[in-house]
Amino acid sequence: MFATSDKTTKRRHSGPPALVVHPSPAYAYLVFGGAGIVALTTVFAWTYWRAHDLVLVVGLLAAAAIALCALERYVTLQFTSLIIGADKLQLVSGFVSKRRISLNCEKIESVKVEQTAGEMLLGLATIRVDTGSNTGLIEIENVSNPESVADQIMQLTNRREKRDPLDD
């Protein structure tokens, strides 16, 4: 579903262009659908079963709260990207304020792909890249085709190990 972007950014140095990975909004869409179902069920109960007006108010407030949570998640995902470059990995996130975490490929120790039951159903996963230090953790959620993305990150570390030290 919208895992990798067709847009590649050109580096200033020679080398391959960077790959930009965006989280999939599928999970947010699912929550939006849940809010819609709660709203429709509430209106149906109020209309056909002559439920008390309090049922309508509480149900619509619950649907609005669910929709607001989904909207916040959707906006967060739209302003998050993982940039896989030739020699570094960057996580850029933030709507109101930006946060950028950069890791040199030499520092990457492990790449983990973790899936919850909901992510498995949607074909998504969370990717964690660790450097072994307290500050060196990059985590991006709701990535579709996570094995391919993890393999790309591991290729960064493999290129690092295959480089000739005399070339530096």
Distance from C-alpha of 79 to C-alpha of 64, rounded to nearest angstrom: 23
**Is the pTM here over 0.85, yes or no?**
no
pLDDT tens digits along 43-94: 888 888 776 788 888 889 999 999 999 999 899 999 999 999 888 889 999 9
Range 94-101 average pLDDT: 88
Q: Evaluate if residue 12 carries a pLDDT over 70.
A: no
Can you read off the two tokens belonging to residue 168? Answer: 């530096």
Note the pLDDT of residue 2: 38
For the chain, helix (H) and strand (E) counts, in that order, are: 4, 8
pLDDT tens digits along 106-127: 888 889 999 999 899 999 999 9
Angle at 137 between CA 9 and CA 154, to 5 degrees: 60
Distance from C-alpha of 133 to C-alpha of 148, rounded to nearest angstrom: 25
Distance from C-alpha of 111 to C-alpha of 15, rounded to nearest angstrom: 23
Distances, alpha carbon 84 to alpha carbons 13, 29, 154, in Å: 15, 26, 11
* Higher-confidence position of 13 and 140: 140
CB 87 within 8 A of CB 115: no
Average pLDDT, the chain: 82
CB 146 within 8 A of CB 94: no
Q: Residue 95: which residues within 8 A CB-CB, separation 6 or more? A: 75, 76, 78, 79
